[in-house]
Amino acid sequence: MASPSSFTYCCPPSSSPVWSEPLYSLRPEHARERLQDDSVETVTSIEQAKVEEKIQEVFSSYKFNHLVPRLILQREKHFHYLKRGLRQLTDAYECLDASRPWLCYWILHSLELLDEPIPHGGYTFCGLATLVILKKERSLNLKSLLQWVTSRQMRFEGGFQGRCNKLVDGCYSFWQAGLLPLLHRALHAQGDPALSMSHWMFHQQALQEYILMCCQCPAGGLLDKPGKSRDFYHTCYCLSGLSIAQHFGSGAMLHDVVLGVPENALQPTHPVYNIGPDKVIQATMHFLQKPVPGFEEHEDEATAGPSTD
């Protein structure tokens, strides 16, 4: 099965932060984006066709039930779902006993993106983010990585797959789309003249449509794809990806694209750390005030020898 190629990028009008064009997934020509297996079925192509059929059912149902397209992020339901998770987890989470710190992060970061009060207290993304932190991103072939990640956005579904010949998954809304701001920044530093100054290098509208139409559980929480169950992991990363798709740049370069009603707008997330930008500033200021351990201290400890007490 051939990998989906990258989208043709379109820039929304800068006069309004809310997308006003027809929904990408409801256009008549959108059906042409479905898988073409050239009459050669494989296990992968069969599974892809099944997923596309479920996605098509969602698109068709939405079109039938909404004379005027109006995508809405079910903020209140997602909020209550996340709040319940802070109070008590179901038995289904028993197998994630070792992931308790991650459960806290998934829930709390989702609440932060929803701009709700919270209590006080993908390998490629992690690799690139680490190099960005170390200021070593130039050691990568950025153009090849850009070609790879933009090809992971599924032309029919609008969401991202994790790797070639895999199915769309809501969590990659962040793990893959989150790579694009990092690559944008790195290529901009190299003076790439082809970069847009108003949108990322992926189809932001299509990703928002996939998350809002296909990944929201009616009872609150977000999920992998239609037919899957909601969980805190996918809730966190679907919302994180939605935030990336809504917000381009910062400061004078800020350009927001919010699909659906204005209330769908989420808080921005930091593209490297995936926490609120203000939290990054607070953490940076905190550690800047701390002394940096020197090698001399370790050498002194090594030469001191064992205690005679």
Catalytic (active-site) positions: 120, 163, 166, 169, 171-172, 224, 231, 234
The residues pairing with 255 across neighbouring beta strands, listed in sequence order, are: 248
Cα 14 from Cα 32, distance rounded (Å): 29
**Distance, CA of 294 to chain centre:** 38
Question: 3 burial class (0-12, 13-18, 19+ CB within 10 angstroms)?
Answer: middle
State the CB neighbour count (10 A cutoff) for residue 231: 21
Q: For residue 148, with 0-12 CB atoms within 10 Å meaning exposed, 13-18 middle and 19 or more buried, which class applies?
A: middle
Residue located via tokens 């928002």: 208
Q: Count CA atoms within 13 Å of residue 297 on its CB side.
A: 4
CA pair distance 141, 294, nearest whole angstrom: 34
Residue located via tokens 């370790």? 298
d(CA 211, CA 192) in angstroms, rounded, equals: 31
